[in-house]
Amino acid sequence: HGSDPGGMRTRARRDGSDWVLDGRKMWITNGSVASVAVVWARTEDGVRGFVVPTDTPGFSAPPIKHKGSLRASVTSELLLDGVRLPA
């Protein structure tokens, strides 16, 4: 979920000319207030970056509440459930 590229579980697959993203990311600063998110995802060819508008269907970024530290920082989890992006 976090910054371990070797353990990346967020996936992107081609569907026709689109990309479809599924997965989640944790501890994303300002994730719930951003208008776009840069999401890294594993593909069959390796790892790619995607620019995801946060109003895309299937994307949500709930804030993480009750943190023990960094309480002044807006921190979120990014959830991607069938997020479809044009290639």
Domain count, the chain: 1
CA distances from 35 to 4, 30, 45, 47 (A): 25, 10, 28, 23
Query: Do the beta carbons of residue 33 and residue 62 sit within 8 Å?
Result: no
pLDDT of residue 23: 96
Query: 51 vs 46, 68, 86, CA distance in Å?
Result: 17, 30, 11
Structure tokens at 65: 């509440």
Domain that holds residue 47: 5-86
Q: Do 54 and 36 form a contact (C-beta atoms < 8 A)?
A: yes
Q: Are strands 75-86 and 18-29 parallel, antiparallel or unpaired?
A: antiparallel
pTM for this one? 0.86
> Which residues in the chain show pLDDT less than 70?
1-5, 70-71
Are 39 and 25 within 8 A, CB to CB? yes
CATH code for the domain of 15: 2.40.110.10
